[in-house]
Amino acid sequence: MLQPGGNNSIIIVGGANVSWPRLDGGISRLNEKAQQLIRRAGAVILQREVPDSLNIEVAKIAKVSNVPVVLDAGGIDSPMPPELLKNVTIFSPNETELARLTGMPTDTTEEVLAAAAKVQLLGVQQVLVKLGEKGSILVNKDEPPIVQPAIMAPYVVDTTGAGDTFTAAYTVALIEKQPPAEALRFAAAAASICVRTKGAIPSMPDRRAVSQLLEEHPAKEMKKVIAKFIEQVNISGSDEAESPTKRSNVNSPKKVRFHDFEDEQKEKSILGQSVQPVSM
């Protein structure tokens, strides 16, 4: 249901998606042709509108074949099976889904990082959190998180499918072996185009449109939105945020990288974390 301003509410009716036969006795429900497609894929994107047991089977086949598995958290609202998460390369929730999964708040960047760290304890290497108009954060094990501001659309018609578009575009960039920061920017551009058209399928952009938008928003110009972005995601270094009583007991990464920031000589201390500018 489309709301004023382009936001949406979605009702999921499982239908045929939940009609897959049960997996009994270790016998695969996927025929050999389907399994070969998974093994030969550049990457596999999963979502939770089919049974988790099917996703687990697909993820296991892909993992054994060294095929990256990207799991979008959208779909059924139920606990996430640990067996699924441990076979996933990248887990991609929005902040609401991340909060629901972890039972932790995700209102600030520090809280998002702490919740993502908790997910990583379940075996996921990378957590890609979609923050809507606030952008996105990629949390990679043993590396500083990367924050990507949203590429703001001049107008918003329909946000339906924007998260799916973002995840799909990031996966395309992953297959193309783009650096993570560039992949995030590519995905942000795709999502920015998506919200300008009504309908989930018609709004998904082609490669030409994404490339054109990236040309219109070169990396160096993105520094202009950093200050506003910091305020939006509530990491302005307030006294309240610095208070030890406000911190989570889950250790979050110590450095957050803001890509598209031109001056590599500057560092800002935010929430006790070092924000390392990265030139693209």
Active-site amino acid positions: 164
Q: Is 238 in a helix, a strand, or coil?
A: coil
95-102 and 109-120 are packed helices; what angle lies between their axes, rounded to 10 degrees? 50
* Structure token pair of residue 36: 């070969």
Nearest to 43 by CA among 122, 114, 126: 126
Q: Say how far apart CA 175 and CA 170 lie, in whole Å.
A: 9
Q: Say how far apart CA 149 and CA 132 lie, in whole Å.
A: 10
Q: Is 136 in a helix, a strand, or coil?
A: strand
Dihedral of alpha carbons 34, 40, 46, 51, sign: positive
> E-strand spans in the chain?
44-48, 69-75, 90-92, 126-130, 136-140, 146-148, 255-259, 268-270, 273-278
* Structure token pair of residue 79: 């606990």
Count of CB atoms within 10 A of residue 105's CB? 15
Long-range CB contacts (within 8 A, 24+) of 84-87 = 84/52, 84/55, 84/56, 84/59, 85/119, 85/122, 85/123, 85/124, 86/122, 86/123, 86/124, 87/56, 87/59, 87/60, 87/62, 87/63
Does residue 194 contact residue 203 with C-beta atoms inside 8 Å? yes
